[in-house]
Structure 1
Amino acid sequence: MHLDSDAVDYVLSTTRSVRLRLDFERAVDPQIILDCIDIAEQAPTGGNRSSRRWIVVTQESQKEKIADLYMKAAGNWMIEARDKLAGSGHPNEKMMESAAYLAENLEKSPAIVIPTIIGTHDNSGKPGLFDSVIQSAWSFCLALRARGLGSAWTTAVLSEQDELKSILGIPNGITEIALLPVAWTNGTNFSKVDRTPAREITYFNNHGITFENGPSSPIAFTDEPGVTTEIDIDSSLSDVWRVISDINFPAQYSDEFVSAEWKEDGNQIGIGSKFLGKNANTSMGEWIVECTIDAYEEKRIFGWCTGDPSAPGARWRYELESFGSSVRVRHKVLLGPGSSGLTRIIAELPDKEEQIIMNRAASLKTNMENVLEGMKSYLEA
C-alpha cells in the first residue's frame, strides 16, 4: 500500500484541540467512534498488554452530569478568566475564550469519550501507566481528524476523579486519562500554527547543543554549532526586558564576559547600534570585540552579532515568551560563520576540530546557564 506522506503530514500537523468549531447540532454515528478506537488501539503499549479501556458517553443525562462536574472543576474559573481577559490583549485571551465556550457547551457534544487504563499511577517517576495510553488517545484524535471530526484534549475534570468514577461507574484500580468531546467540525480546513523550528529545539548528543546544518560526523565548524539555554522567571515582561537589554548585567554571573560599553548613546538602542564587549578566559586570554545589534523587537527579542555583521563570529540572542505572570527566557548563541578566536584555534589544531567545538560549547553553556540563574534570582527576589 502506498502511503501519501503529504496527507499523513497534513493530518499530523493540523490536528489540535477544537472547541469553537465543534458542530454540536450534527449527530455522530457511534460506529465512527468505534472505528477510531480500533485505530487508536494499534498504538504501542507497555509489555504489549491490552489494558486500555474506553468510555463513550452519549446519554443526555450522563453528559449533563459530566458537564456539571467539568464546570465545577474548572469551567467557572474559565468563564471568569475569559470575561476578565476579554479585550485585554493578554497572551491567554483567545485560549480562555475557547475554553470557556467548551465549558458552557460541553453537554451539547454528540459524544464524550474518556480513555482509561487498568492500573493506578504510583507517582514514582518511573515509566508507568501514561506511557501506555497517551499515544493511543492522541491516535484517536488523529483518526477523528482524518474523518472530518474534531475533539479537544481536556483534563480539568480529572481533579474530581472520585465523582467522575461515581457518575460513570468506574471501579477503583482504573485510571481516567482525559476527557474528549467528539463532534463533526464546522469545516475541515485547519491551518498549521506557528511552532519553534526543529533546529532550534532539537539537541544533538547533549542537551542544549544545536546545529544550523548537519551535523556532520565528525562535527565541523561549517555545521554552525550553537548553544541554547532556557529558564522560566516569575516576573513581569517589562522587568525581564529591562534586564536582558542591559548589556552589562551578564558580567555579574559570567566568568568570561567582563563588561560592555555602548559606542553611542545607549538610550537610543535599535538595529545597527554598536557596543564593545570585553572578555577574558584562560584559553583565549583577553579580547575586545565590536558587537552590532541585529535583532530587536521590544519585549520579545534582543540580539547582537560579533565582528563583521555580514560574516559574524557569533550571533547572540535573548528571546522572551510571556505567560502572563511569568516569562520564559531563551538565551542562545550560534557560532560563526565568520572568523573568531575559535576558528583560529581550529586552524592550529584541525585534527581536533570536533573536540575544540564541543569544549567551547560546554564552556558557553555553563556561563549562559549561570547568567539565566542569576537573572531569575535577581528578578524574583
Structure 2
Amino acid sequence: MEWTGARYADKPTVEVEMFIDAPPERVWQLVSDVTLMPSMSSELQRVEWQDGATGPRVGARFVGHSEHRARGEWQTTSQVVECEAPKVFAWVVEDPDDPTATWRFTLEPRDGGTTVRQWVRMGPGRSGLSEAIDRMPDKEQKIVYSRLREFETNMSATLAQIKERAETRTAQG
C-alpha cells in the first residue's frame, strides 16, 4: 500500500487479509461481536450497544471507549451500515453522513475455511487526527502515514486473535 503522500482529505484506506481455518459462520460470530473487540485491541477499551440494541443489525449504534498514548482517552458513537451474515459487517464512526472513519470486515469461504479482510477508511469527517494535523499542518503526510501504519499493525493483530479463537473453537468442536 502506498501511503507516503496521503493526506486526510484523500480518505486513505488500509486493508489486511488473513485465511482462517474455520467456517464463515464461526468467524462471523467473532467479527460481528463488537463487545468482544476490546479483548483483541490495544486501543479499544470498552464497547456498549446503544438504544436497546444487543447485537449487530443495520442501524444499530454502539459507543466505543478508546485510549492511545498520544491522544489520551476518548469515546465515539458508531452505527452499523452493513450487516449481512456471514459475509459483511461494517460501521461508520460518528456522523453517518460525514463519518470520521468507516470500518468493514468481509468474509469469503475458501478451501473449507474463510478469507477475512478488515478494511478502514479515514474521514471524510473530522477526527482526533484532524486536531493533530491542525496543530502541525506541515507534518500532515507523516501524521496520516503513522496512523495508517498503526491501523495496519492493530488490524493484523486483531485478525490473528480472531484466527486463533476461531480455529481453537473449531478444533474443539
TM-score by length of 2: 0.92
Deviations 1:161-198 (CA, angstroms, capped at 9, x unpaired): xxxxxxxxxxxxxxxxxxxxxxxxxxxxxxxxxxxxxx
- Alpha-carbon contact 2:22-2:112 (below 8 Å) kept: yes
Could you list the structure 1 runs, at least 4 aligned residues long, displaced by more than 6 angstroms after superposition.
none
The structure-2 alpha-carbon separation of the partners of 1:263 and 1:339, relative to structure 1 and needing over 3 Å to count, comes to: same
The one of the two structures with greater contact order (alpha-carbon pairs below 8 A, sep at least 6) is 2
Matched length = 168
Q: CA RMSD in A?
A: 1.4
**Cα distance in 1 between the residues matched to 2:17 and 2:5:** 27
Is 2:18 the counterpart of 1:231? Answer: yes
Is 2:73 the counterpart of 1:317? Answer: no
Which residue number corresponds to residue 304 of structure 1?
91
Which residue number corresponds to residue 68 of structure 2?
281
**Cα distance in 1 between the residues matched to 2:157 and 2:39:** 9
Deviations 1:38-83 (CA, angstroms, capped at 9, x unpaired): xxxxxxxxxxxxxxxxxxxxxxxxxxxxxxxxxxxxxxxxxxxxxx
Q: Percent identity?
A: 32
Read off the aligned partner of 1:338 and give its amino acid letter.
G
Which residue number corresponds to residue 115 of structure 2?
328
Deviation at 1:324, TM superposition (A): 5.0
Read off the aligned partner of 2:102 and give its amino acid letter.
R
- After superposition, where does 1:87-166 map in structure 2 within 5 Å? none
Which residue number corresponds to residue 351 of structure 1?
138
Deviation at 1:364, TM superposition (A): 1.2
**Cα distance in 2 between the residues matched to 1:364 and 1:257:** 12
The structure carrying a bigger helix percent of its residues is: 1
Deviations 1:1-29 (CA, angstroms, capped at 9, x unpaired): xxxxxxxxxxxxxxxxxxxxxxxxxxxxx
TM-score by length of 1: 0.43
Deviations 1:302-325 (CA, angstroms, capped at 9, x unpaired): 010101000000000000011251
Unaligned runs of 5+ in 2: 169-173
Which residue number corresponds to residue 244 of structure 1?
31
Read off the aligned partner of 1:323 and give its amino acid letter.
R
- Alpha-carbon contact 1:228-1:330 (below 8 Å) kept: yes
SS of the counterpart of 2:107?
strand
**Cα distance in 2 between the residues matched to 1:225 and 1:364:** 11
- Alpha-carbon contact 1:253-1:367 (below 8 Å) kept: no
Unaligned runs of 5+ in 1: 1-202, 210-216
Which residue number corresponds to residue 171 of structure 2?
none
Read off the aligned partner of 2:62 and give its amino acid letter.
F
Read off the aligned partner of 1:373 and give its amino acid letter.
A
- Alpha-carbon contact 2:67-2:74 (below 8 Å) kept: yes
The structure carrying a bigger strand percent of its residues is: 2
**Cα distance in 2 between the residues matched to 1:231 and 1:268:** 24
- After superposition, where does 1:68-83 map in structure 2 within 5 Å? none
